[in-house]
Structure 1
Amino acid sequence: MRHCLYIKSLFITLLALTAFTAHGVELETTEINSTQSKDYTLAPGDAIRVLVFQNPDLTLDTRVTESGSITYPLIGSVKVGNMSIAQAEGAIASALKSGGFVQQPQVNIVLLQVRGNQVSVLGAVNRPGRFPLESFNTKLSDMLAYAGGINTSIGTNGGGADQVIVVGIRNGVPFRKEIDIPNIFLNNHPQDDIEVAAGDVIFVPTAPQYYIYGEAQRPGSFRIKRNMTIQQAVAEAGGPSVRGTERGMKIYRSNANGELQVIRTKHTDLVQADDVIFVTESLF
């Protein structure tokens, strides 16, 4: 009995692989979908492949309609929206059996393409645009990689920030989350590398900047690096010129009311966004 069941299971696998090859689907992609997507909830726009054991004529590639249904041979319209793949397999099998078309139908559904199939990546990345969502468990880091990564080049825009913003819809509710990308890897926070969903927008804002002028080697605007101190900020600009000194430096910083104030800081204090550092001239 066990031997028969093994042969039967092996035949199902071979039938599925044959169908995948015939439709030009890569084996690696199909295996990922078939082994990891059973709990995935189907929704309008999802592309699926339906196979029935020993019934190759019932193989169907289709897309879930806006009403959450598919049209299937012999049984017509089948509601699969808001069902897991396993539940949808059961619904099709039940309809085939109750209609007398297949006595003991064994149905297998493969998720070919996730609904919407696109995520937008905007802002300070090397290749902004819309990118296909080819599997249901695509991570935030994957989408940033598709966009060429965060642009950290120093220029008029200062490059991209470490924190990115993800907006979209989750369970019918607007979703927004700010995520510190380096923190995922530097401090081992893999839970922040969230799964993206179709229709999501990933926005990489411009990195905060500071400005330095006066007797600095390279006055101008610079990207604020993580935990950057005043001393490091001056060093980034090449340090004081031959006529400059670090003594008596002034920091112009806006307060909570937007008023510009001149403050005294220690060299070990952290730079804040939009700080203006004035390197004074040495009197001696």
Structure 2
Amino acid sequence: MITRRRCLALLPVSLILGKAFGAAGQTPVPEVGIGEYRLGPGDKVRVHVFNEPDLSGDFDIDGTGQLALPLIGTIQAGGLRLMELEALITKALAGGYLKNPRVTAVILTYRPFYIYGEVRLPGGYAYVNGMRMVNAVVLAGGYTPRARQGRLLVTRLVNGQKTELEATDDTPVLPGDIIRVPERFF
């Protein structure tokens, strides 16, 4: 018969072994800052060309990653960082249109993230800077009674490849993430 004292003595060992063997096949979610964020379809940016109000404005990145701008036409913005977009627009405007153009760009709205599985209100939700997985679950109405709480799967772009990674409630959400809340077995 196992006594309470023996159970308490074996608990740390079982936790260590569980972590050691359970983590072998899991890939942790890399911490990616929003400063390294790459633009994509669904993002809305504000481009400001100094002293050129006709060239400035708010623009949407379309489903193919293209950004349509006055005078220079469409450019491929998908996959670029904000600073790279500014440099690309500056170079395009300097190529025969303006002398020494000064361009700034800011993201007005990020593309949404999606959550499905064992949550009450699955769907797409607006991204908010600093959001964690637990916030995403709360926005989706919370866990269903069959949810495997605290263990989430997130599909996101990592080095240009879609990758499914295991996440916890404290993992940051990024724009474009697809979060799956799995079902528990017991």
TM-score band w.r.t. shorter chain: 0.5 to 0.7
Q: Indicate the structure whose relative CO is greater, using CA pairs within 8 Å and at least 6 residues apart.
A: 2
For residues 128 and 204 of structure 1, do their structure 2 counterparts lie closer, same or farther at Cα, with a shift above 3 Å needed? farther
Number of positions where the alignment pairs a residue of Structure 1 with one of Structure 2:
152
Cα separation, 2, equivalents of 1:206 and 1:70: 43
Cα separation, 2, equivalents of 1:147 and 1:168: 17
Task: State, as a whole percentage, how many aligned pairs show the same letter.
Answer: 24
* Aligned twin of 1:88: 85
2:48 aligned with 1:51: yes
Residue 151 of structure 2 aligns to a residue whose secondary structure is strand
For residues 76 and 178 of structure 1, do their structure 2 counterparts lie closer, same or farther at Cα, with a shift above 3 Å needed? closer
- Tell me how far 1:92 sits from its aligned partner: 0.4
For residues 103 and 39 of structure 1, do their structure 2 counterparts lie closer, same or farther at Cα, with a shift above 3 Å needed? farther
Deviations 1:208-266 (A, max 9, x none): 3xxxxxxxxxxxxxxxxxxxxxxxxxxxxxxxxxxxxxxxxxxxxxxxxxxxxxxxxxx
- Tell me how far 1:87 sits from its aligned partner: 0.7
Q: Which of 127, 136, 141 is the matching residue for 1:134?
A: 127
Normalising by structure 1, we get a TM-score of: 0.46
**Structure 2 counterpart of 1:56, which letter?**
P
**Structure 1 counterpart of 2:104, which letter?**
N
- Tell me how far 1:86 sits from its aligned partner: 0.5
Residue 142 of structure 2 aligns to a residue whose secondary structure is coil
Q: Which of 103, 108, 114 is the matching residue for 1:107?
A: 103
- Rg (Cα) greater in structure: 1
* Aligned twin of 1:234: none
Indicate the RMSD between aligned Cα atoms, in angstroms.
Answer: 2.7
Q: Which of 110, 115, 119 is the matching residue for 2:114?
A: 119
Gaps of 5+ in 2: 1-32
Normalising by structure 2, we get a TM-score of: 0.67
**Structure 2 counterpart of 1:52, which letter?**
V
Cα separation, 1, equivalents of 2:44 and 2:92: 20
- Tell me how far 1:141 sits from its aligned partner: 1.9
2:155 aligned with 1:162: no
Does the CA contact (< 8 Å) of 1:133 and 1:198 recur in 2?
Answer: no
Does the CA contact (< 8 Å) of 1:75 and 1:99 recur in 2?
Answer: no
* Aligned twin of 1:75: 72
Cα separation, 1, equivalents of 2:71 and 2:136: 40
Residue 56 of structure 1 aligns to a residue whose secondary structure is coil
* Aligned twin of 1:177: 166
Cα separation, 1, equivalents of 2:74 and 2:167: 42
Gaps of 5+ in 1: 1-35, 152-156, 182-191, 209-284
